[in-house]
Amino acid sequence: MGSSEIKNFGILGYPVGHSMSPRIYRAAFDAAGFPNYNYVPLPTHAGKLYFAVEGLKGLDFRGANVTIPHKSTIMKFLDAVDADAMIIGAVNTVVNDGGILTGYNTDVYGFLAALAEANFLAEDCHAVILGAGGAARAVLWGLCKRRAECITIGARNPQKADALAKDFLNYGRVEGFDWHSDEFKEMVRTADIVINTTPLGMYPEVDDMPPIDLKLLPEGALVYDIIYNPAETKLLRTARAMGLPTLDGLSMLLLQGKEAYRLFTGELPDLDVMKAALEEGLNLR
């Protein structure tokens, strides 16, 4: 369904010059017949976030995506926050309804939808999460929502891993460990899925990977890296060479974008168009 109405969207963060969001959403808007829907990068320094959020209202932006370093800080400047975003403690999508700004977190939707597309059932699984940062919180909440039997967090900082685990103890069986510890290695032996939520292996540091011994994994365990650039990280390449099934971060990125598009427009985008725009953008680098 097309529209001649002018609507503005953007992405708040710093830096945002590398973001694929403008390319992806513009392609989706054009394909849907929304030639007057604009999507622009909105580079915003930390001390200017309040004014940027007020600017969304003043300039009548319909919505915005939110990226590092503002996903948590922006919550205090919004009029309402969705339940998932409140539990995760981060917002990545803001919708403006007549001056009322509501924050959402579509990462959890994208994560779970990508697992479903890969035919992985998170119910009753033992999941190992690598990393204890913001991305780990969305993944952890998604696994709790799907009633994973056991969730193990391994991180460089064991105190951070333990603190994250305690934040979610009311929602499931969650434990945090130093990822170099013998206790963590023993947990890896019974994992059904390993999910990397760290930036280790992300472009341009493509020779990095988290310090996990994939040989400890049971046969058939899924190795999932939410990094999307490169699509096949060193972690996934290593797992594939060992005969383990793998899942990259492209699906999660596109599917969380699909949900944000729905929140922005009330309609579903052409996912093939979004995927083509993303792949084209990544090939330009």
User: In which residue are the tokens 């994992």 written?
Assistant: 191
**Active site members:** 71
Burial of 130 from C-beta contacts in 10 A (0-12 / 13-18 / 19+): buried
> What are phi and psi for residue 92, nearest 5 degrees?
-120, 0
Residue 103 to residue 64: CA distance in whole angstroms: 10
Which amino acid, 115? L
Contacts of 15-20 with C-beta under 8 Å, sequence gap 24+, read 15/43, 16/41, 16/42, 16/43, 16/67, 17/41, 17/43, 19/67, 20/253, 20/277, 20/278, 20/281, 20/282
| CB of 127 closer than 8 Å to CB of 111 | no
Burial of 182 from C-beta contacts in 10 A (0-12 / 13-18 / 19+): exposed
Could you tell me the two tokens for 128?
């190992």
Helix (H) or strand (E) holding 60: none
| CB of 111 closer than 8 Å to CB of 87 | no
Helices marked H in 211-270: 234-241, 250-265
Residue 232 to residue 176: CA distance in whole angstroms: 27
